[in-house]
Structure 1
Amino acid sequence: MGFLAGRHVLVAGAGVTGRSAAEALLAADAAVTVTDGSGDRLAALEQLLPGVDLVPGLVAPPPGVDLVVTSPGWRPDSPLLVAARTAGVEVIGEVELAWRMGAELADPPTWLAVTGTNGKTTTVGMLESILRAAGIDAVACGNVGLPVVDALLAGHRVLAVELSSFQLHWSPSVRPFAGVLLNLAEDHLDWHGTFGAYAAAKAGVLTGGVAIGGVDDPVVAELLAAAPAGAHVGFTLSSPEEGQLGVHDGVLVDRAFGPDAVLLPVADVQPAGPPGVADALAAAALARAHGVPAEAVAAGLRSFRPGAHRAVVVASAGGVLYVNDSKATNPHAAAASLRSHPSVVWVAGGLLKGASVDDLVRAEAHRMRGAVLIGADREVIAKALARHAPAVPVAVLDGATMDDAVRAARSMAQPGDAVVLAPAAASMDMFSDYAHRGQAFTEAVQALVTS
């Protein structure tokens, strides 16, 4: 890659993203240094990346470095990144690196990008399924797990790119062929500082050729209207106006791309419920923007199956349903999860990342049979329940295991209820990640049911 040859690039972070960035930089004939606070992570790269200079704990770029590629979780106020900017060294993310590398290809891939507070992974999974149903060489990548630079170098023709607010912050020139902003609610305020900064980062997905937004969300609708993209398309759970996708008489319909088109019945969408339907409309809009026929949209959505830890029914016993939605890592996602059930015992807690649960509790209190709270910010959630739902029984478990939480939830539940793990928070206070948390819930439920 011409713009990288001979440059000295510092990669900040030795995780999956950092390793992929370093490999791509080496292949492009750059001199590469990798730094990380973990010596173990650096040691793991030693055999994988011969020729890379591995330096633990850098707080300033080494002499000669003229570009920093940061892993997305590194905050802008990290000492190393502050020192780089102060020295006039550009800081970008792995997604931006992939974009710039792709721009030098004779036939670069098409980017179809997805962001939002909730539903990103489901939407890119649906989009990948639709594109493949149309016979297109496509892959889901980005925040979903596969680094974008790996997808680029593998030669895929269409990239279904999930983008977090962190990745968008570090991607100033990315302009996808089409991008969708699903929804917006408070999240990652500890990283961005304000909701306005968080929303501005998310709005970066709307800067390409086609901007798509969930217009049932007033903040998204406002950002969509102001987007600099060449075309604006909304999606709604209501009957769509011209230029929108939506739901009419129980069927997903497209009134934006060509003649009005019927896509498929709402009953055929998985996961079921309003959040799943909204994600399906968003995926359909991106695919239709790329010229995918309605028949392939329907086929792709019918064949899609949600990933693990997203509204997965673990068991049904004694008239009580047990649902693992560990991926509901913010209040917006948790609210969507709870709305799928008329009566719930809510299992919640973890790291709220600066987000408020007041709106969630206020809106969903009427369906709560009880709440079981665990994790670092359990008292914050308990206070919100005391303010807005004082009649809801609450068990605040100090130092508890997931087994304790499931048993407490079962003691509250009545036949017809759902015990729903929808934590509204990140997991790293008690678990390695949301998947670990979801697995712990699944095992605790299975142990309870079999006993």
Structure 2
Amino acid sequence: MSLIASDHFRIVVGLGKSGMSLVRFLAQRGVSFAVADTRENPPELATLRRDYPQVEVRCGELDVDFLCRADELYVSPGLALATPALQAAAARGVKLSGDIDLFARNAKAPIVAISGSNAKSTVTTLVGEMAAAAGKRVAVGGNLGTPALDLLSDEIELYVMELSSFQLETTNQLGAEVATVLNVSEDHMDRYSGLPAYHLAKHRIFRGARQVVVNRQDALTRPLMSEGQPCWTFGLSAPDFKAFGLREENGEKYLAFEFQNLMPVRELKVRGAHNQANALAALALGHAVGLPFDAMLASLRNFTGLEHRCQWVRELDGVSYYNDSKATNVGAALAAIEGLGMDMDGKLVLIAGGDGKGADFSGLHDSVAKYCRAVVLMGRDAGLIADALGDTVPQVRVASLDEAIAQSRTLAQPGDAVLLSPACASFDMFKNYEERGQLFARAVEVLA
């Protein structure tokens, strides 16, 4: 039975992917609802009119009086709650919620909830593969792939959900079996007033959680208010009780749990210290929900990484090329620079730049100085990055991705790596980060 009253009126605000999943969910349950979107022609408008012609839809500027007809507004993650019309409706007693809140009310199986500034998709995918290897009927989605409400099924034994800060803003009580914020660094500063507001949004994931997983190398990942639930930790240091980490024995580095070595790090197919941290986080989450180590370790040995996430493209003239186009913020770029940099003998030639989303690039300074031979800058905020880096390493400014690759090839020496890790969004030059990464990989292949 659905935990939603059918005699109340709802409005879905936002008609993108998650908004359309809300439409399907409400229609299947006979709930009375309408749809609103700030855009004149939202992405799913044609689908809505074809499949649900009876549903009232209003496009363009939000009408507060119309919104106030509803008992509850389901706000899509792309629309900020600070939008004046939403604030006005809330002030008049209308409840603001979202698809994840509704999913949590209706999910019958345990939820593994994963957020963080970076590595969410990688860890979510890993835990999903671990659960499948253990024989669980698992559903994976949320911010990654399939919208949460489309995953609901009585057949599912475990949900593994990637959740963004935008989704968590409208999530009042998730009640996950285990929840984690993998890391916290500045992102989406064009939406939030500052890091504290972004941090608070992320930490809504812990509301009602039965267990938590914490990155012991990032204090901002600890729940702001402990509810006394069991806490597991992960990090690159040697682990203690209820902890996953790295241990070294006879010159061999191992993934370890407490005082038990689990597998040699060299057996991972993904490179870099950041990927070792991702593996440890996935192990901690899987262990919290009772997945056996043999299935989890087999999944780690088979995992080759996700596209556009520190993805090895090829080696040419002794130089490796990595596509990390998904690094759309400073924290993600730092993870790649440090993760690869500390794991190789040569230096990095970094390709960075794009739409910085109001970020502070000063955090790149020390790691670029330590691990990079040169930096090639492109895009709208190239100048801001250049100013933040100062005279750490040589800088080259270019007008296109092809020019960036050509310059990087000239700068790199055998044993080095060329790393596309922009620390910026792509929208100033590309359709999305996927297009940026695909064009990079294609251009590198053509070099040969």
Using structure 2 for the length normalisation, give the TM-score.
0.92
1:213 aligned partner: 214
- Contact persistence 2:11–2:70 (CA under 8 A): yes
2:389 aligned partner: 385
1:81 aligned partner: 86
1:55 paired to 2:54:
no
- Contact persistence 1:114–1:163 (CA under 8 A): yes
- Contact persistence 2:369–2:392 (CA under 8 A): no
1:186 paired to 2:189:
no
- Contact persistence 1:327–1:422 (CA under 8 A): yes
Residue type at the aligned position of 2:48: L
Give a deviation string over 1:359-397, Cα, whole Å, max 9, x none: 2222331222211111221111011122xxx15221223
Residue type at the aligned position of 1:354: G
1:105 aligned partner: none
1:45 to 15, 38, 48: 48
Q: Give the 5 Å matches for 1:8-407.
A: 8-36=9-37, 37-39=39-41, 41=43, 42-61=45-64, 62=66, 64-102=69-107, 108-153=108-153, 155-207=155-207, 208-220=209-221, 223-224=222-223, 226-249=225-248, 250-255=253-258, 261-339=260-338, 340-341=340-341, 342-386=346-390, 390-397=391-398, 400-407=399-406
| C-alpha separation in 1, matches of 2:316 and 2:9 | 60
Following superposition, the deviation at residue 271 of structure 1 comes to 2.0
Q: Which SS does the other structure have where 1:438 is aligned?
A: helix
- Are residues 2 and 96 of structure 1, via their aligned partners in 2, closer, same or farther at CA, if it must alter by over 3 Å? closer
- Contact persistence 2:114–2:182 (CA under 8 A): yes
| C-alpha separation in 2, matches of 1:442 and 1:3 | 47
Q: Which SS does the other structure have where 1:189 is aligned?
A: coil
Following superposition, the deviation at residue 277 of structure 1 comes to 1.2
| C-alpha separation in 2, matches of 1:32 and 1:155 | 28
| C-alpha separation in 2, matches of 1:310 and 1:318 | 23
Q: Which SS does the other structure have where 2:213 is aligned?
A: strand
Give the length in aligned residue pairs: 433
| C-alpha separation in 2, matches of 1:406 and 1:19 | 39
- Contact persistence 2:368–2:392 (CA under 8 A): no
- Are residues 4 and 306 of structure 1, via their aligned partners in 2, closer, same or farther at CA, if it must alter by over 3 Å? farther
Q: CA RMSD in A?
A: 1.8
| C-alpha separation in 1, matches of 2:317 and 2:303 | 30
Query: What is the percent sequence identity of the aligned residues?
Result: 34
Using structure 1 for the length normalisation, give the TM-score.
0.91
- Are residues 323 and 261 of structure 1, via their aligned partners in 2, closer, same or farther at CA, if it must alter by over 3 Å? same
Gaps (5+ residues) in structure 1? 103-107
- Are residues 261 and 293 of structure 1, via their aligned partners in 2, closer, same or farther at CA, if it must alter by over 3 Å? farther
Q: Which SS does the other structure have where 1:191 is aligned?
A: coil
- Contact persistence 1:345–1:413 (CA under 8 A): yes
Give a deviation string over 1:190-217, Cα, whole Å, max 9, x none: 2121211111222222330101110011
Give a deviation string over 1:406-449, Cα, whole Å, max 9, x none: 122222222222111001111122222211110111122223x1
Give a deviation string over 1:281-328, Cα, whole Å, max 9, x none: 111111111111211211222222311111112222122221100011
- Contact persistence 1:263–1:297 (CA under 8 A): no
1:444 paired to 2:447:
no
Following superposition, the deviation at residue 224 of structure 1 comes to 4.0
Residue type at the aligned position of 1:142: G
Q: Which SS does the other structure have where 2:35 is aligned?
A: strand
| C-alpha separation in 1, matches of 2:77 and 2:167 | 5
Following superposition, the deviation at residue 337 of structure 1 comes to 0.9
- Contact persistence 1:210–1:231 (CA under 8 A): yes
Following superposition, the deviation at residue 147 of structure 1 comes to 0.8
